Amino acid sequence: MAFHGCHDLCIAVSEVEAFVVGVGFAAWPPNARATTYNKTSAVGAHTVGAPDGGPGLPIANWSEHHGDLRVAHFLGLHAVQIIPLIGWWLLRKQRLTELQRFRLVWLASGTYISVFALLTWQALRGQALFEPDRKTLIAAATALFFAGMGTLLILLPSTHPALHKWARTFEVQI
């Protein structure tokens, strides 16, 4: 399988953006359970756990003390720039094979989706970006662990035969 530059990057970006749009449609319109707990209308609001317009972080004005969906929204929208930038950076790495570049772009896309989902989940539970609870920290550590292990499996299998055999079990044949 060869890394076909723009084509593969476009597919990776489309994967991330489809997930972002899917989460957006799942959150709209509000379901019956959400309107039962929230007596006031919060359709279109970006702060969870408090009314919009409280104290915010400098420049972005994201809520300092409550969940803010704009953080995940920002990350989701910028996947269109970040994933191709990662692909371009990987193309400049001469020591990587085309297959390694291909796998790393897909790993970056999957990691991007997991961070987006984590930020959305954190905001929907009313937590500020810099005030995560234990569950959020465990989920972030898990995502970081899998991203790191995926990178190792992509970069090291040729030097470690046991890792190579294990990594091939997860390979998708097209």
DSSP string, 115-159: HHHHHHHHHHTT--TT---HHHHHHHHHHHHHHHHHHHHHHSTTT
pLDDT (0 to 100) of residue 117: 92
Q: Residue ranges of the domains in the chain?
A: 6-168
Strands, E assignment, the chain: 47-48, 67-68
pLDDT at residue 160 greater than cutoff 80: no
pLDDT at residue 25 greater than cutoff 80: no
Q: What is the mean pLDDT of residues 92-105?
A: 88
Residues 6+ apart with CB under 8 A from 118: 136, 139, 140, 143
Model pTM score = 0.68
User: Which candidate, 80, 64, 84, 86, places its Cα nearest to that of 116?
Assistant: 80
Residue 48 bridge partners (DSSP): 67
Q: What is the mean pLDDT of residues 20-37?
A: 53
Q: Which is more confident, 12 or 98?
A: 98
pLDDT (0 to 100) of residue 171: 64
pLDDT at residue 166 greater than cutoff 70: no
User: pLDDT tens digits, residue range 32-90?
Assistant: 444 444 444 455 666 676 666 666 666 766 777 677 778 888 888 888 888 889 988 99
How far is the first Cα of the chain from the last one, in angstroms, to the nearest whole number? 8
User: pLDDT tens digits, residue range 99-157?
Assistant: 888 889 999 999 999 999 998 898 888 888 788 899 999 999 999 999 999 998 888 86
pLDDT (0 to 100) of residue 144: 95
Cβ atoms of 105 and 9 within 8 Å: the answer is yes
pLDDT (0 to 100) of residue 40: 46
